[in-house]
Structure 1
Amino acid sequence: MAIDNTGIVPSKLTLGTVQLGMPYGIHNRNGMPSEESSFELLREAWDGGVLSYDTASAYGQSETLLGRFFEDKRPLIITKISMHPEAGATPEWIERDMREKIESSLERLRVSSLPVLMLHNTDVMEHYGEPITAAFRTMVREGLIGKAGISISHNTQEEYAMMWNYLKDETYEAIQIPMNVLDHRPIRNGCLGMLSEAGKTVFVRSVFLQGLIYMNAEDLPDNLLEARGPIAALRELSERYAFPLAQLAVSFIRDMPGVHSLIVGAETKEQVRENMALIGGPPIPDRLRAEIMELFRDVPERVITPNRWK
């Protein structure tokens, strides 16, 4: 098991598995892989030393696939649940609903305890943060989950203002944030530094911004034409420094203080192999890092916040 008495110990690459349960990503050309292909992909990752796997109850068949594949193994599974209480829901209702969701995930994953369980939708914390946090503490105490966590949804100023005290709360030991070469918001607003000081285990997703950074300008949908400038500037940096775009994107996040693991998905075992190579790739030059921080300090939220692409 990739967890010990001192906390959560993920591999530097955490395999994102939303692609195994549903079609996902603006740059996805292959759709959802078959179960056979998914098992080949998971075997490639496991045999290559990937210990941690990110999923969620909302990711279609993902939990079920992981449960079947890992039945006789002990990976670090990070899964997530969404809470949607009706107005006026009591703390008892919150705990009962959470318990039902956890039991469903336990059944699909074929485990007796969830190594890491995160809250998937932060909006619910505005009105129900205290009872949800209390329920998480209860589930940890009972052993239904090993560690509790929060997955930041959108990276907006409003979300961080609402979530700041909960992110610091000792109940939540694992935090997932979206961050990439175009989106530096957790750095600039001080969140990453705060999480590091608080001793949280930080997982970063959206390293490739759902594949947006790979797209050609002519392939961008009309609602993302504003991304042309940042993507062109990113490609120019990659070419000028002779540093491959994918490696640039990974190394920029991987070597950031306070980041423990990068959540990167894959649709084929070849992509898993490529991602493992990127995780082991070279660091970027300090001058390049400084240029990235300066060039992309004000990328519009419409470009770097996927839920605003619709």
Structure 2
Amino acid sequence: MPNQIMPSEAGTDLLSKLTLGTVQLGIPYGIHNRSGMPSEESSFELLQLAWEGGVTSYDTAAAYGESESLLGRFFHGKQSLVTTKIHLRPEPGATGTEIERAMRERVESSLERLQLSSVPILMLHNTDVMETFGGPITASFEALKRDGLIAKAGISVSQNTPDEYRSLWPYLQNDTYEAVQLPMNVLDHRPLRNGCVSMLAEAGKTVFVRSLFLQGLLYMKDEDLPPRLGAAQEPLAKLRALSEKYGVSLPQLAVSFIRDLDGVNSLVIGAETKDQVRDNIALVEGPSIPEAMREEIAVAFADVPEQVITPIMWK
């Protein structure tokens, strides 16, 4: 596999194989988060370490608290690939003009926080609105591109549910959307099974994959699992057994399984500490897993309970 610091051949300019997720820098995040949100000084040190390690791609959103503003201050004068996301909640019966106005307002606010004149990649954060407003939202993305406020448009898949893919499928194939972010990991193979990843690859989309560690769930011991996640004990035990059987660390297993899939361009992995940044860079540059292990994973985790692999159901 190519070294992480090199841009992805199939992706956008400045797209590194590791995209640093920055939600942790803007709000406390993750079921396994023990350190909380880092200070601005610590965040800048973390970003500097990632930058010096060849990470040129960063993921944020308007909903991530101080994340956009933090990135704007750090990257002022630097050339990086920033993906940000906007949340839309149109009123019933909203017109295309009203939707475009709302999207422009949100983009202009993000541009101010990011200290940019154009967003490299802008994604829709809440996909549920596409069922009713997909047409005018798509037209508005095109208008934002024509006016130079964004370079590329994208969609961030939320939950991987059949209903969500049913409503999104026409838009995921639409040429307007050149980038897609989706959750996928060693326990959650839904975008593989439903053909989404192969379809996106064939369409030439830039594919970001997040939730590789299921917000830290993959690291949790049985005694640390909250009662509502008792169903995770069996798949986590299987995962640990496979790690031991093949002598591959669980983090490397989780990263390599997704990294080496055809059609995956960049892995969105967050960090709260500099050590985590170093670890993530090493993991993305790490070895592939044996093919026999990949085949066992496909069988062992083909039907993990939905309440385990869908974080919104943990609440």
Task: State the TM-score bracket (shorter-chain normalisation).
Answer: over 0.9
Q: CA deviation at 1:275?
A: 0.3
Equivalents in 2 of 1:7, 1:31: separation in Å? 32
Deviations 1:214-261 (A, max 9, x none): 000010001100000000000000011110000000000000000000
- Determine the structure 2 residue equivalent to 1:165: 170
TM-score for the superposition, normalised by structure 2: 0.96
- Determine the structure 2 residue equivalent to 1:233: 238
Letter in 2 for 1:78: T
1:303 corresponds to 2:308: yes
Between the two proteins, the alignment pairs up a number of residues equal to: 308
Cα contact 1:3–1:76 (8 A) shared by 2: no
Look up the SS of the partner of 1:8 in the other structure: coil
1:143 corresponds to 2:148: yes
Equivalent residue in structure 2 for 1:15, among 17, 20, 25: 20
Q: CA deviation at 1:8?
A: 1.4
Equivalent residue in structure 2 for 1:187, among 180, 183, 192: 192
Equivalents in 1 of 2:148, 2:97: separation in Å? 19
Letter in 1 for 2:32: H
Letter in 2 for 1:122: T
Q: CA deviation at 1:31?
A: 0.3
- Determine the structure 2 residue equivalent to 1:108: 113
Unaligned runs of 5+ in 1: none
Q: CA deviation at 1:3?
A: 9.1
- Determine the structure 2 residue equivalent to 1:53: 58
Equivalent residue in structure 2 for 1:88, among 74, 86, 93: 93
1:98 corresponds to 2:126: no
Equivalent residue in structure 2 for 1:117, among 122, 125, 135: 122
Q: CA deviation at 1:137?
A: 0.3
- Shift of the 136–3 alpha-carbon distance from structure 1 to 2, 3 Å rule, reads farther
1:67 corresponds to 2:76: no
Equivalent residue in structure 2 for 1:220, among 225, 232, 235: 225
1:285 corresponds to 2:296: no
- Determine the structure 2 residue equivalent to 1:294: 299
Percent of matched pairs sharing the same residue: 67
Task: List structure 1 segments (4+ residues) > 6 angstroms apart after TM superposition.
Answer: none
Equivalents in 2 of 1:160, 1:226: separation in Å? 25
Equivalents in 2 of 1:98, 1:228: separation in Å? 42
Unaligned runs of 5+ in 2: 1-5
Equivalents in 2 of 1:236, 1:215: separation in Å? 14
Equivalents in 2 of 1:177, 1:96: separation in Å? 27
Equivalents in 2 of 1:195, 1:111: separation in Å? 28
- Determine the structure 1 residue equivalent to 2:249: 244
Look up the SS of the partner of 1:115 in the other structure: strand
Q: CA deviation at 1:270?
A: 1.1
Equivalents in 1 of 2:11, 2:290: separation in Å? 32
Letter in 1 for 2:127: T
RMSD of aligned C-alpha atoms? Answer: 1.2
1:44 corresponds to 2:86: no
Equivalents in 2 of 1:3, 1:63: separation in Å? 23
Q: CA deviation at 1:7?
A: 6.0
Look up the SS of the partner of 2:142 in the other structure: helix
Equivalents in 2 of 1:212, 1:262: separation in Å? 17
Cα contact 2:11–2:265 (8 A) shared by 1: no
1:271 corresponds to 2:276: yes
Pairing of 1:251-270 with structure 2 (within 5 A): 251-270=256-275
Deviations 1:173-201 (A, max 9, x none): 00001000000000000000000000000
Q: CA deviation at 1:72?
A: 1.1
